[in-house]
Each structure stands twice: as structure tokens, then as C-alpha cells.
Amino acid sequence: MAELQEVQITEEKPLLPGQTPEVAKTHSVETPYGSVTFTVYGTPKPKRPAILTYHDVGLNYKSCFQPLFQFGDMQEIIQNFVRVHVDAPGMEEGAPVFPLGYQYPSLDQLADMIPCILQYLNFSSIIGIGVGAGAYVLSRYALSHPDTVEGLVLINIDPNAKGWMDWAAHKLTGLTSSISEMILGHLFSQEELSGNSELIQKYRNIITHAPNLANIELYWNSYNNRRDLNFERGGDVTLKCPVMLVVGDQAPHEDAVVECNSKLDPTQTSFLKMADSGGQPQLTQPGKLTEAFKYFLQGMGYMASSCMTRLSRSRTASLTSAASIDGNRSRSRTLSQSSESGTLPSGPPGHTMEVSC
């Protein structure tokens, strides 16, 4: 497999005491559907999967995930895992604009590029973190390569194809709104857009003035032409690995994530609904999401309990739980938390957790 490009970059970010700068290596490899660029941080750890991320439409790996992975408490996690940040084709920084008439890959084809990345890196398994379109891509990959996916964190996933009503609304919106405004409406809630906070202004500027906006539109079109994942609880089409579904309250995709939760295996799925996080919880609430991710990894056996001291204190102080009393009727457990703690407890196996934090 030919390597097209390898660039070594030292990431500029605030460092914790005693922490050395991370070295990022950016690679591009050819796949049957074109070239794909990805950036690797850290070195592979024995008997541990790589953390692989996939971003949403209108973003790249930096604008989608940097606040999360630069968060102080996240350093405890990333020092124990190599991580791979995938940029969808044409979304990487400095990407040239595709020529007119270029056939952009479908989301299914984007998922089929991931084996080429793992083969190039000689990685055998991953824990995936995806947002929006990226969550769909990782889900599609997990369906076709279940033995290589140990866990998934899916933020704002919509597993359904667009229906006729959705298409009609999309076409009408396209008559009165620009591509950048439609993508912003996909990323953020109407309340956030109306409030026009500093975060919204920043991302509106990033998307509106993106030099590769024509490429972004192609990714956007592929997302809107996605196929139904056809998840079915108890059926053959389901995610086999542990899954954490994440969505902000009043986020654009709240209903879709709730529906997705109802279709997945309740013994493998946890559902995190985050208050005060808007449409992009990894940007607005990286601390809460980091804590939830730590508990998710702990449930998979990858985070020692000694690493969870502060989180355990927070859990003890703020967590209340109500367990189902009818085990034959339902195996689900509902947990509610204060908005200050934001922790996701590691419950016993075989329970779906619905958490509002």
C-alpha cells in the first residue's frame, strides 16, 4: 500500500506539569475510493486497541476533537492508548479543492477505507469515537468488521436514511439557506445559533470561510444520501461491541439518538444525555464527556480503579440510581445525576444506562 505523505508535527497545546509535547505523524494512504489522511499520536501499547476518531460534516479532526483531547483529565487516558484521527477525504487542513464532477465517496465507502488505515499501521483493533457523520461511518465499519472493534462512542448518530419528508424539508431549506448555514443547523441547536455565542461565531467563521467549502458540500451530500443502518434489537444487524451513545439535550439529533438506543442491544449499550451541552458536547462539555469515557473504558477493563479516585468521590456525592424492580420485564436501569458531576457509573454487565448529566 503506497504512502503518499508523511509529515511530523509537534502539537502546540497547554502542557501539564511534567508532560512532554506530543508528536503527531500525519499519513496519507491510497484506498479503492481515493486517498485518506490520518494523524497518529503516541505509540501502540501492547494488548490495547487504538482510539480512532472520525469527525462530523463541516469539521476536521482538530476542530471536532481538539477541545476533548486537550482537556486536562483526558491526558490520563491518552497516555495509555495510541490514537488515530481520521480526516474524511478533502477535509484535512490545506486540502486542495476537488475538481468539478468529482465523485465523492459514500459514507459506506468511507467506512471501507478504514481497513486500509489499520493495515498500513498494522493495528488489529480499535475503540472508535465518532460524531454525526463520523459516528455513522464507524457504525457501518463495525457492522462489517465486528472482530476489530472493541467499543464505540457515538455522538449525535442518526442511523436512519432520510425519508421523503426529510428530503422535502432539506430541499426547501436549500432554497433559502446557504450550505454553511445548513451545516451549522446540523451541528448546533437553534437555541445555540440564535444565542450566537463566541463558540458559534468561531465555528460559523470556520465553515463560512473554509477554503475547501466545495469539498465540505460533497461530504454533506454523502451524509444526506446515507443508507439506513437497519439496526434491529435482537436481530442480526446490530453492534456487537459495547456502545456509548451521547447526545446533548435539545440537540438537533436528540430524537435520532434516542431511537438508535431503542434499537441496540440493551446489554451492550449505555445512553448519555448531557444537559447544557448543545449540539456538540465534545466541544462544550469536554470534562463531562471525558469522565463518561473513563467509566466506559473502565467497564471494558482498560482503566484501573486507582485512576478513578476523583470520579468515584464525585459519583458518591452526586449519584442517585433507580434500578428496575422487574427483571423479567426489563433489564434496563435508569440513572440520573446532577449537572455538576457528569459522571457515568460503571454498572453491572447486562444493563442499559440512560444518564442525564
User: Is 310 inside a domain boundary?
Assistant: no
- State yes or no: pLDDT of 327 exceeds 90: no
Burial string for 52-82 (b: 16+ CB within 10 Å, else e) reads bbbbbbbbbbbbbbbbbbbbeebbebbebbb
C-alpha cell at position 37? 489522511
Q: Which CATH number covers residue 154?
A: 3.40.50.1820
pLDDT band (50, 70, 90) for residue 338: very low
User: Is 12 inside a domain boundary?
Assistant: no
User: Is 226 inside a domain boundary?
Assistant: yes
User: Is 17 inside a domain boundary?
Assistant: no
Q: Give whole-number Cα distances, 328 to 22, 81, 348, in Å.
A: 50, 39, 17
What is the arithmetic mean of pLDDT over 166-191?
Answer: 78
pLDDT, residue 322, reads 33
Cβ pair 146, 152 in contact under 8 A: no
pLDDT, residue 317, reads 35
Please state which of the ranges 71-85, 122-136, 165-179 shows the lowest mean pLDDT.
165-179
Percent of the chain residues past pLDDT 70, beyond the cut: 75
- State yes or no: pLDDT of 20 exceeds 50: yes
User: Is 268 inside a domain boundary?
Assistant: yes
What is the arithmetic mean of pLDDT over 13-28?
Answer: 67
User: Is 56 inside a domain boundary?
Assistant: yes
Please state which of the ranges 78-87, 157-166, 191-200 shows the lowest mean pLDDT.
157-166
- State yes or no: pLDDT of 165 exceeds 80: no
What is the arithmetic mean of pLDDT over 214-227?
Answer: 96
pLDDT band (50, 70, 90) for residue 246: very high
pLDDT, residue 13, reads 44
Q: What is the pLDDT of residues 42-70, one digit of tens each?
A: 999 989 999 999 999 999 999 999 999 99
- State yes or no: pLDDT of 319 exceeds 60: no
What is the arithmetic mean of pLDDT over 206-234?
Answer: 96
Alpha-carbon gap, residue 298 to 295, rounded angstroms: 5
What is the arithmetic mean of pLDDT over 116-135?
Answer: 97
Percent of the chain residues past pLDDT 90, beyond the cut: 70
* Mean pLDDT estimate for the chain: 83
Please state which of the ranges 91-100, 174-183, 220-229, 262-271 shows the lowest mean pLDDT.
174-183
C-alpha cell at position 280? 456538540
User: Is 274 inside a domain boundary?
Assistant: yes
pLDDT, residue 250, reads 82
Model pTM score:
0.83
Q: Give whole-number Cα distances, 97 to 131, 134, 214, in Å.
A: 23, 21, 7
- State yes or no: pLDDT of 86 exceeds 60: yes
What is the arithmetic mean of pLDDT over 317-344?
Answer: 36
pLDDT band (50, 70, 90) for residue 132: very high
Q: Which strand ranges, in their side-by-side order, compose the sheet holding 23-31? A: 3-10, 23-31, 34-41, 83-87, 50-54, 126-131, 149-155, 243-248, 269-274, 353-356, 333-336, 320-323
- State yes or no: pLDDT of 206 exceeds 90: yes
Domain count, the chain: 1
User: Is 242 inside a domain boundary?
Assistant: yes
Ranges of beta strands (E only) in 179-287 are: 243-248, 269-274
Q: Which domain holds residue 290?
A: 23-301
